[in-house]
Amino acid sequence: NRRARLLCMLALTFLFFVVEVAVSRVTSSLAMLSDSFHMLSDVMALVVALVAVRFAQRTRATKKNTFGWVRAEVMGALVNAVFLTALCFTILLEAIERFTEPHEIQQPLVVIAVGVAGLIINLLGLCLFNHHGVGGHGHAHGHGHSHGGRQHPRGGPKPEQPPGDGEAALHREETSTLVENCSSSNGVSQEKLGDMKDDMSDVQVNGNAGHYPLDEEEVEEDSSAQLNMRGVFLHVFGDALGSVIVVVNALLFYGLWNPCPEDGPCFNPCVNNHCMENATLSQALGRANKSEQESVTVAGPCWLLYLDPVLCLIMVCILLYTTYPLLRESALILLQTVPKQIDVHSLNSKLRTLEGVEAIHELHIWQLAGSRIIGTAHIKCPDPSTYMMVAKRIKEIFHDEGIHATTIQPEFASVGSESGRGKCELPCRTQCALKQCCGTGEDSTAKKTEKSSSLSISCSEVVIEFPKTRRTKSESIPSVKLEANTDQNEQFESSL
Amino acid sequence: MGRYSGRSIRLILMCVLSLAIFAIEISVAYVGNSLSLASDAFAVLSHLISMIIGLFGVRFSRVKWHKASTFGFSRADVLGAFGNSVFATALMFSIFVEAIKRFINPQKTEKALLVLIIGISGLFFNLLNYVIFMECCYCRAPPRDTETGDSPNDQKSPEVGSEKKKEKKSEALNIRGVLLHVMGDALGSVVVVVTATIFYVRPLGDASCNWQCYIDPSLTIIMVLIILSSAFPLIKETSTILLQMVPKGVNMQLLTDRLARVPGVSSFHEVHVWELASGKNIATLHVKCQTPSDYQDAAYKIRKVFHEAGVHSVTIQPEYIDHKTSQLLCSSPCISKACDSQLCCSQREPPRAKTNGYMERRESCPSAGHKDNGSRRTDIEIHIEDSAAEESVKNVKNCDVSDDKSQSCGTRF
């Protein structure tokens, strides 16, 4: 559906571009030529959006991209936003130039005709993309909401549940196998959890009854697609504004301007042409002094000439104002920031207050695109069985925040390392500290950004390896294995 | 720290100077009607923007963890370089359009002397930029390496050394971008000087345009092509990072082969490798093991495999097998099937036969993750495991690792 719209608009715009170029050649109007190239920039924006949509439909993982190409639409939105900014900038420069050297519009009638045609096409485009435009903004936020928005389209799992499957009744939602090893007593608590979950989903289903009529495609168009469409919308919007300005300007020009006739003396006070000015002025004055004063035509009101740049400036301001949010949103996603609706600190504290969880580190939340939020964390537990009990709760906490793709790494404290509470048990080696995504643990507000602190972490593994790195040629891979094995043995004991 | 502030002061000075040069050049370009000077001014502008981004990027990358971004802002550099390249491309596009218009409607360059003077000073300024940048920004890299305590005589030194080299190269991403811009500017100034000289030596006065008027647009187009040819590789590189692609030095096929050979691993899936910013690779995966002790054994070896591949931040999620779940599916994607569309890769499709099924499943697994093909089966294969005890775990068709080599959902191909 999106593609169809984009293709349609692309065809229209390109056609119009060709027409405008032809007309400008025929009428040799430079202004129309420049306007036609604005259409070309529109075409480019549409092409970028189309490419992004094509890419983003390949959501499967590939050799080159383990996440699929879902992010392409966010990138497309960013490219369009930057492109639009550059366009505004060039328009700004042109407007400044026009201020210093005002031009008259030649053949205003032709300009009006072409401007109206362009405006019609742009308005058509606006209607095509309007659904995704500013209105889509609110929808995007709605999508971001954690609880309600997600569960409804898949419906309550209840109705589709195969009957008579007692265990299935227990776990209507998928459970992690980590809890599978628990005894049946735990199974009971899971049942309770399952019931609670169902109630919640029921409530949400009812609460979001309004969303049911949305067909699959609407729901599927999550915020990344909307970002992309917003980029296109803003481009078309800018073009429409440009056409409006052209039409208004030409109309006023046609109506109010007194042009200099080809023949006869004419005094144009608006154009800064010093030499000619003096010549004509003296000429005109001389003749006027002699005979008819009225025959000297003075070119029309000068403020008309300045109307164009002023309107252009206004347009630039409007465009920049509407482009900036798009730029910000796509940039924030690309920067791997935490999505707005999630509070990392509260998530951290929720996780930490779970019993069985000793410490959390390397908690990372980021948004892949749209509603796909990914989280990873390292959870420190005393032993594997505690971890099994707590794993489901952890996933639920993440799920409640809207983070559904999580990778949780359990770490078991080694015997006797009380100091290692907050530190990672399984980092890479010391020299990799720089290449890790984050050098230190972030239990606190993490002002420890110096490399020295990352080195002084007395990770159990690190401690073993640290002296090793000081040695020179004598080390070899086997020795690394040996030491690591002893570490493993320690962990064995603790878990057993 | 002293070096940093010294460099930043120099950068700020250069920024101010660039801004002034840009303003002068663009005004003279309009006055003298010289297109090449205008394009040179735009080049200076994009150079200026990249310097500003470089300044901010360095500041941002020092933030390691922030409430708004758990990775810190190390990507700001990359994003800035990308944005700047796109901006430069757009500006060059508009210059290109102007040049085409000039071909259709040739215009003379007036005030050739002024244009010539500005062109020469622009050239001088670009060379100055180049020199300053070469000097200030190549001395940044070494000190970091000495601080990590890496001994250059490490057994692994060839690998580490090459990694360091790679790191140095890739860390200078934005710096390289700036350098390329500077070189493009220099070329641009040369073009301006050439055109202005021609008009100065053979002024046209009031005559109509002859061949001289076509030099300006043609040389401008050449310059646009040169600048674009330096912007595009940068766009490619930065979009590799921004699109979460597998970083260049990592071979996924090799990596997954090695991972499959780790003893204790029955299968793995959801392998994701991506690059946060230059040199910092991150990976996550889910591993299916028989027992917790298996997992702990395997975890270290898995990390080693990743370390050798150049990925140093790895998060491994263990999952334990029982007879109910198929080996291929993720046992713990999220707590409810309703979340499927928000998983980074969909879990929808059922697995089929072993090897074939792996391949087929690979294709259908995250196929158009959000699309469902209309079916709303929410109760597919992700079975419920309640209380499979350890013994049942052992009864699982415990295929040898060699068999399971082909079964790793996630990203094998």
- The CATH number covering residue B14 comes to 1.20.1510
Is A372 within a domain? yes
Is B69 within a domain? yes
Give the integer Cα–Cα distance in Å for A428 and A52. Answer: 36
pLDDT, one tens digit per residue, over A193-206 is 444 444 444 444 44
Give the integer Cα–Cα distance in Å for A268 and A263. Answer: 14
- CA distances A300 to A130, A269, A445, B127, Å, are 40, 9, 67, 49
pLDDT band with cut points at 50, 70 and 90 for residue B19:
very high
Q: Are residues A258 and A380 in the same domain?
A: no
pLDDT band with cut points at 50, 70 and 90 for residue B379:
very low
What's the whole-model pTM score?
A: 0.69
Show residues of chain B in contact with A175, CB under 8 Å: 332, 335, 384-386
Measured between CA atoms, the residue of chain B closest to residue A334 is B242
Amino acid at B107: Q
pLDDT, one tens digit per residue, over A2-36 is 888 889 889 988 998 888 888 877 777 666 777 78
Question: Is the CB of B26 less than 8 angstroms away from the CB of A93?
Answer: yes
Please say whether the beta carbons of A402 and A342 come within 8 A. Answer: yes
Chosen domain end from B192, B217, B243: B243
pLDDT band with cut points at 50, 70 and 90 for residue A78:
very high
Bridge partners (DSSP) listed for residue A380:
A359, A411
Secondary structure (3-state) at A69? coil
Is B114 within a domain? yes
Q: Are residues A316 and A241 in the same domain?
A: yes
Q: Are residues A78 and A32 in the same domain?
A: yes
Res B127 pLDDT > 90: no
Bridge partners (DSSP) listed for residue B283:
B273, B314
Chosen domain end from B267, B300, B320: B320
Q: How far is B276 from chain A (nearest CA, A)?
A: 7
Amino acid at A159: P
Give the integer Cα–Cα distance in Å for A171 and A115. Answer: 63
Q: Report phi then psi at A296, rounded to 5.
A: -80, 120
Res A150 pLDDT > 70: no
* Interstrand relation of B313-320 and B280-289 (parallel, antiparallel or unpaired): parallel
Please say whether the beta carbons of A424 and A459 come within 8 A. Answer: yes
Amino acid at B55: L
Q: Are residues A345 and A329 in the same domain?
A: no
Give the integer Cα–Cα distance in Å for B138 and B169. Answer: 11
Closest CA to B248 of B154, B311, B205, B294: B311
Please say whether the beta carbons of A115 and A34 come within 8 A. Answer: no
Token pair listed for B170:
């890739």
pLDDT (mean) for A153-157: 40
Is B273 within a domain? yes
Measured between CA atoms, the residue of chain A closest to residue B386 is A180
Give the integer Cα–Cα distance in Å for A203 and A194. Answer: 14
Please say whether the beta carbons of B260 and B408 come within 8 A. Answer: yes
Res B153 pLDDT > 50: no
Res A207 pLDDT > 90: no
Bridge partners (DSSP) listed for residue A369:
A372
Q: Are residues B281 and B231 in the same domain?
A: no
- CA distances B6 to B3, B17, B144, Å, are 5, 17, 18
Closest CA to B157 of A17, A408, A476: A476
pLDDT band with cut points at 50, 70 and 90 for residue A341:
confident
Three-state SS letters, B367-384: CCCCCCCCCCCCCCCCCC
Show residues of chain B in contact with A159, CB under 8 Å: none
Show residues of chain B in contact with A366, CB under 8 Å: 70-71
Res A248 pLDDT > 60: yes
Cα pseudo-dihedral A279, A281, A287, A289, rounded to 10: -140
Between A91 and B143, where is the model more confident? A91
Q: Report phi then psi at B158, rounded to 5.
A: -60, -45
Please say whether the beta carbons of A429 and A464 come within 8 A. Answer: no
Tell me what pLDDT residue B330 has: 63
Q: Are residues A266 and A372 in the same domain?
A: no
Question: Is the CB of A60 less than 8 angstroms away from the CB of B372?
Answer: no
Q: Are residues B121 and B256 in the same domain?
A: no
Q: Are residues B60 and B193 in the same domain?
A: yes
* Interstrand relation of A359-369 and A266-267 (parallel, antiparallel or unpaired): unpaired
Is A318 within a domain? yes
Residues 48-77 of B with CB under 8 A from A: 62-65, 67-73, 75-76
**Angular region, A234: left φ>0, alpha ψ -120 to 50, beta rest:** alpha
pLDDT (mean) for B368-391: 38
The domain of A374 spans 337-412
Give the integer Cα–Cα distance in Å for A488 and A303. Answer: 84
In which element (H, E) is residue A401 found? helix A384-401
Between B63 and A393, where is the model more confident? A393
Between A28 and B304, where is the model more confident? B304
Question: Is the CB of A179 less than 8 angstroms away from the CB of B385?
Answer: yes
Tell me what pLDDT residue A179 has: 38
pLDDT, one tens digit per residue, over A117-140 is 888 988 988 888 876 544 444 444
Give the integer Cα–Cα distance in Å for A141 and A152. Answer: 16
pLDDT (mean) for A267-276: 58
Secondary structure (3-state) at A491? helix
Q: Are residues B218 and B283 in the same domain?
A: no
- The CATH number covering residue A367 comes to 3.30.70.1350
Is A23 within a domain? yes
Say what percent of chain B tops pLDDT 90: 2
Q: Are residues A359 and A237 in the same domain?
A: no
Average pLDDT value for chain B: 70
Is B124 within a domain? yes
Number of domains in chain A: 2
Burial grade of B371 (CB within 10 A; 0-12, 13-18, 19 or more): middle
From the list A44, A180, A366, the residue facing B322 with the nearest CB is: A180
Tell me what pLDDT residue A280 has: 57
Closest CA to A176 of B335, B88, B324: B335
Tell me what pLDDT residue A273 has: 54
Give the integer Cα–Cα distance in Å for B317 and B298. Answer: 12
Is B297 within a domain? yes
Please say whether the beta carbons of B44 and B18 come within 8 A. Answer: yes
Q: Are residues A318 and A392 in the same domain?
A: no
What's the N-to-C CA distance of chain B in angstroms? Answer: 47
Instruction: Please report how the helices B76-104 and B212-242 are oriented relative to each other, as an axis angle in degrees rounded to 10.
Output: 160
**Which residues, other chains included, contact A393 with Cβ-Cβ below 8 Å and sequence gap of 6+?**
A354
Tell me what pLDDT residue A496 has: 34
Is A214 within a domain? no
Q: Are residues B48 and B99 in the same domain?
A: yes
Q: Are residues A259 and A352 in the same domain?
A: no
Is A152 within a domain? no
Tell me what pLDDT residue B304 has: 85
Tell me what pLDDT residue A391 has: 83
Give the integer Cα–Cα distance in Å for B101 and B204. Answer: 20
Tell me what pLDDT residue B44 has: 84
Q: Are residues B264 and B226 in the same domain?
A: no
Tell me what pLDDT residue A271 has: 62
Q: Are residues B117 and B232 in the same domain?
A: yes
Number of domains in chain B: 2
In which element (H, E) is residue A410 found? strand A405-412
Tell me what pLDDT residue A320 has: 92
Tell me what pLDDT residue A225 has: 81
Give the integer Cα–Cα distance in Å for B7 and B135. Answer: 10
Please say whether the beta carbons of A374 and B344 come within 8 A. Answer: yes
Please say whether the beta carbons of B271 and A394 come within 8 A. Answer: no
Question: Is the CB of B64 less than 8 angstroms away from the CB of A446?
Answer: yes
Q: Are residues A117 and A243 in the same domain?
A: yes
Please say whether the beta carbons of A437 and B147 come within 8 A. Answer: no
pLDDT (mean) for A354-372: 84
* Interstrand relation of A359-369 and A372-381 (parallel, antiparallel or unpaired): antiparallel
- The CATH number covering residue B299 comes to 3.30.70.1350
Which range in A148-157, B290-299, B329-338 is most confidently predicted, on average pLDDT?
A: B290-299
Q: How many CA atoms lie within 13 A of B356 on its CB side?
A: 2
Which range in A157-161, A276-280, B291-295 is most confidently predicted, on average pLDDT?
A: B291-295
- Quick one: CA dihedral A203, A205, A206, A207, positive or negative? positive
Show residues of chain B in contact with A62, CB under 8 Å: 411, 413
From the list B246, B346, B371, the residue facing A66 with the nearest CB is: B246
Q: Are residues A38 and A76 in the same domain?
A: yes
Q: Are residues B213 and B257 in the same domain?
A: no
Find which of A336, A345, A365, A489 to mutate to test the B interface (most B CBs within 10 Å of its CB): A336
Neighbours of A422 (CB within 10 A): 16
Please say whether the beta carbons of B239 and A75 come within 8 A. Answer: yes
pLDDT band with cut points at 50, 70 and 90 for residue B250:
confident
Tell me what pLDDT residue B398 has: 40
Q: Are residues A127 and A234 in the same domain?
A: yes
The domain of B281 spans 252-320
Secondary structure (3-state) at B241? helix
Closest CA to B198 of B313, B113, B321: B113
Please say whether the beta carbons of B59 and B44 come within 8 A. Answer: no
Q: Are residues B239 and B279 in the same domain?
A: no
Is A176 within a domain? no
Res B76 pLDDT > 90: no
pLDDT (mean) for B61-77: 77
Give the integer Cα–Cα distance in Å for A217 and A224. Answer: 14
Q: Are residues B95 and B231 in the same domain?
A: yes
Tell me what pLDDT residue B20 has: 92
Is A127 within a domain? yes
Tell me what pLDDT residue A295 has: 56
Question: Is the CB of B319 less than 8 angstroms away from the CB of A177?
Answer: yes
Closest CA to A87 of B97, B99, B106, B81: B97
Which range in A273-287, B129-143, B205-219, B286-300 is most confidently predicted, on average pLDDT?
A: B286-300
Measured between CA atoms, the residue of chain A closest to residue B69 is A337
Give the integer Cα–Cα distance in Å for B29 and B40. Answer: 9
Neighbours of B204 (CB within 10 A): 15
**Which residues, other chains included, contact B39 with Cβ-Cβ below 8 Å and sequence gap of 6+?**
B92, B95, B188, B220, B223, B224
Give the integer Cα–Cα distance in Å for A386 and A380. Answer: 10
pLDDT, one tens digit per residue, over B172-204 is 666 676 666 667 667 778 888 888 888 888 776
pLDDT, one tens digit per residue, over B209-244 is 777 778 888 888 988 888 888 788 889 989 888 988
Chosen domain end from B276, B293, B320: B320
pLDDT, one tens digit per residue, over A289-327 is 555 545 556 666 677 778 888 888 898 999 999 999 999
Is B75 within a domain? yes
Q: Are residues A390 and A306 in the same domain?
A: no
Q: Are residues B36 and B63 in the same domain?
A: yes
Token pair listed for B88:
């430069």
Tell me what pLDDT residue B158 has: 52
pLDDT band with cut points at 50, 70 and 90 for residue A81:
very high
What's the N-to-C CA distance of chain A in angstroms? Answer: 57
Question: Is the CB of B282 less than 8 angstroms away from the CB of A30?
Answer: no
Closest CA to A383 of A181, A189, A176: A181
Burial grade of A445 (CB within 10 A; 0-12, 13-18, 19 or more): exposed
Q: Report phi then psi at A349, rounded to 5.
A: -70, -35
Give the integer Cα–Cα distance in Å for A160 and B380. Answer: 10
Give the integer Cα–Cα distance in Å for B93 and B67. Answer: 39
- CA distances A382 to A357, A360, A407, Å, are 8, 12, 19
pLDDT (mean) for A106-110: 76
Show residues of chain B in contact with A99, CB under 8 Å: none
Cα pseudo-dihedral A284, A287, A289, A291, rounded to 10: -130
Residue for token digits 């407007």?
A95
Is B203 within a domain? yes
Tell me what pLDDT residue A47 has: 92
Question: Is the CB of B63 less than 8 angstroms away from the CB of A449?
Answer: yes
Q: How far is B107 from chain A (nearest CA, A)?
A: 13
Q: Are residues B259 and B136 in the same domain?
A: no
The reply to whether B141 touches chain A by the CB within 8 Å rule is: no
The reply to whether B188 touches chain A by the CB within 8 Å rule is: no
pLDDT (mean) for A339-363: 85
Secondary structure (3-state) at B309? helix
Between B262 and A146, where is the model more confident? B262
Between B324 and B94, where is the model more confident? B94
Res A442 pLDDT > 50: no
Res A467 pLDDT > 80: no
